[in-house]
Amino acid sequence: MIIDPKHGSSIVAMDAKHAKWIQIIEEIKVVGSEHLLGHSGIDAAERALKILPEYARIHFAGETECIAKQDYPALEADRKQHHELVTEISTLLSQIRTHASLSAPLKLSLLLTVRLLENIMQDDGKYAQFILGKSVLPNPAEGA
């Protein structure tokens, strides 16, 4: 899958990993879009979630390692956000597997569509700019 330039970071390795996220998001949206609040939505979400938790763990661990090597100033905030996303994914996975909530597939779709794309376009975008030498992080000396 080729990443849409609007989601791109200009860092090829990062964009390739984000393309996988976008592929997972699209698969969940396509398979369950018409039945997100019913049993077929749960089945579709469960199929997609077979790969999601492991990919999330691998993706975030690799990203955190890369960020740490670059002495990224927002490393801890990024780690916290990744932990929160993995927790949300795990909670929804549990709800889907136990059929505890028929709205869990809809929540999963929204989480992936909003939170993960937001992470890619905003937070990872800042990281990419930092790597590329165009940091947009506030400079404490400038009073920002």
pLDDT (tens, 9 = 90+) of the chain, 144 residues, equals 445 555 566 777 778 888 887 887 777 666 555 555 556 666 666 666 777 778 888 888 888 888 898 899 999 999 998 888 888 888 887 887 787 777 777 777 777 778 877 888 888 888 888 888 854 545 445 444
d(CA 103, CA 41): 9
Q: Cβ contacts of residue 138 below 8 Å, gap of 6+? A: 144
Fold of 14-131: Four Helix Bundle (Hemerythrin (Met), subunit A) (1.20.120)
The model's pTM is 0.69
